[in-house]
Structure formats: C-alpha cells, structure tokens
Chains A and B, each alone.
Chain A
C-alpha cells in the first residue's frame, strides 16, 4: 500500500518536473529541434516541409503540454506529435504531386553533396557521401511505416517497445515493418555491389 502511494507520488513529481521543462519553449526548441528535423526530413524528404512540420510540432507540443502524461520521454512524445503531422501531410495532394515529380529524392541527394564528413580523407569523404546517398535513396522507396520504423530504430536508436508506443502499433507489427525494411535495404545494396 505504502509502495503504491510512493510510486504515485514519484510519478506525479516526475510529471510536474517534465511539464515545467515543457513550459520553457525556448529550451525545448533548442534541445530537440536537431533530432526532430532529421527524423521528419527522412519521413517527408523535403527540407522546407520538414522545417514547417517541426515548427508546428513545437507549437502543438507547447499548447498541449498539459496533456503530457509523463510516461515516456519528451523526445518520444515530440516524435509522436511529429509523426502525426507527417501522416497528415502525406495525405495531402501537394505531397503526392511532389512525390511523383521526384522532388523529395532531389532534396535528399543535395543534402549529402553539401556536407563534409569529419576527419576523413577526400576519397573517404566521397565514399561516405555515396553511401549516405544510397541509404537516403533506399529509404524513399520504403513505405511510410517501414521508413519510420527504420529511422527510429537505426537513426534515433529507439527501442522497439518505444517505437510501438509512438506509432500506436503492436510490438510484433513494428518488428515486421523493421525486418521488411532491412530486407529491402539488403536487397538493394546487394544489387548495387
């Protein structure tokens, strides 16, 4: 009985602490914008749209911070909000148009060209860029669910159970999407060898 009460008190205290963290919008944005932008970028493949979605995500999180239950990390909670916005966006006709036009692929390719890789020889940098491009292009061929699970697992290093919670899916469904994504990537990389 006492343990249950203590757990409840700790839970409430933790929630209060996190809500106060959410109250500081400037710190919230500075802390999480990099990872969120990367996640959304590889979901929608368009940097302008990604930036707009992340901006909207912070606004939504801040105005709805009272709804945060504190039973997952802030990063996970923000990712789930961003994912909902990505899903909304992908239902729009505009996204479908650009997808057909190959705009998304071009944006991702440009990203790899612009950035230097740290501490590598020119040949090593070129090779690293080519590999990064290859993965980015492979991701765009996956379904949204496969791509999202793949990015969450290997880029954001989230646990399977965490991904299942964010995506509102059973753990086994997440595993199925992940293994199909890995198979597709293996096959495509095998073809290019």
Chain B
C-alpha cells in the first residue's frame, strides 16, 4: 500500500489507455480517491471527445470543400513567376503608351544622331536644287494662265496661250 496518489504521468497513461505500470494498477485497485478522480476525468474526456467529434462531423462538410482548380493554379504559380508576369504586363503597357504618343509611321531620329552638314555639302545641295528647279521651269508649263500674277514676281515665265 502506497501513501502517495497516482502521478500526472500515471494518470496520463490511464487516460490514453496506454500500458500502465503494475505499481500504478495496484495503487488504483487500493485507492478510492484515485479511482473516483480517474473515473471523472475519463467521463469528462469521453463527453468532450464525443461532442467535439459530432460538431466536426456536422461542420466539416459544410465548411471545408475541395480547393477549386483556380485556387490550386494560383498557389502553384511561384512568387517569382508572379513578379515576372507583373513586370512583363507593366512593360507591355508602357510600350503601348509610348507607341501611341509617337507620330504614326514616322521614324524618329534622336538629336544625337543628327550631325550638322558642312558648308561644302550645303553649297552642293543648293546647286543641285537650283538645277532641278531650272529644269522643271523649262519643261513644265502651267495648265491654266495665271494672269493675276505680276510679271517678274512669278518664279515661272509667263506662258503663251493658244487661242
């Protein structure tokens, strides 16, 4: 006959229906206090387990559903993938807006690429333009008389109109 009651560890073994020591079993047989306490704990735990399981059986089908394919896909996409996708979307929007702001079908050349022509090149261009102008003046005549123009002010000589 022992004077001390069951320890917490021995109570734990009995509650879990684990193999209790011979000493603990002998004490339980002899000690009414420990038997009453264990019976009360057993009963309370039994009620708790029964009610909590009944609650979960009712609530689980109502509250817990299989994840949808959308949820699974969203979780499967890694964080870096999301970041890359976001950056690509932002870049696409930026490029689109940039193209909208520019004049359509007119290639732009940056000012850095434009170099000032030399004086020799300018003179050569001017000579070329003047020769083309003179050539055109002799070959092409206006389709209608331009009588209101003052002689000498026109770039083109007055034309003889046949009656």
Chain A interface residues (CB < 8 Å from chain B): 25-26, 29, 33-38, 41-42, 47, 51, 54-55, 58-60, 62-63, 111-112, 114-118, 127-129, 131-132, 134-136, 153-155, 157, 175, 178-180, 182-183, 185-186, 189-190, 193
Contact = CB atoms under 8 A, between A and B. Distances in A.
A115 B55 contact: yes
A131 B43 contact: yes
Contact of A186 (B11, B56, B57, B71): B11
Contacts of A128: 47, 50-51
Given A55-B64, A186-B8, A118 B48 contact: no
10 contacts: A37-B63, A37-B64, A51-B64, A63-B72, A117-B47, A117-B51, A128-B50, A132-B51, A154-B49, A157-B16
B30 to A, nearest CB: 19
B133 interface: no
A167 B57 CA distance: 25
Contacts of A29: 64-66
Given A58-B66, A63-B72, A111-B55, A33 B48 contact: no
B103 to A, nearest CB: 50
Given A38-B55, A55-B64, A155-B52, A179 B16 contact: no
Contacts of A132: 44, 47-48, 50-52
Could you tell me the dominant secondary structure of chain A's interface residues? helix
Interface string B58-75: 111101111100011001
Could you tell me the dominant secondary structure of chain B's interface residues? helix
Contacts of A175: 9
A151 B45 CA distance: 10
Interface residues of B, number: 37
A127 B50 CA distance: 13
A63 B75 contact: yes
Contact of B76 (A54, A63, A157, A189): A63
B73 to A, nearest CB: 10
A37 B59 contact: yes
Chain B CB count within 10 A is highest, among A42, A60, A118, A128, for A128
A71 to B, nearest CB: 23
Given A37-B56, A55-B67, A186-B11, A154 B75 contact: no
B135 to A, nearest CB: 79
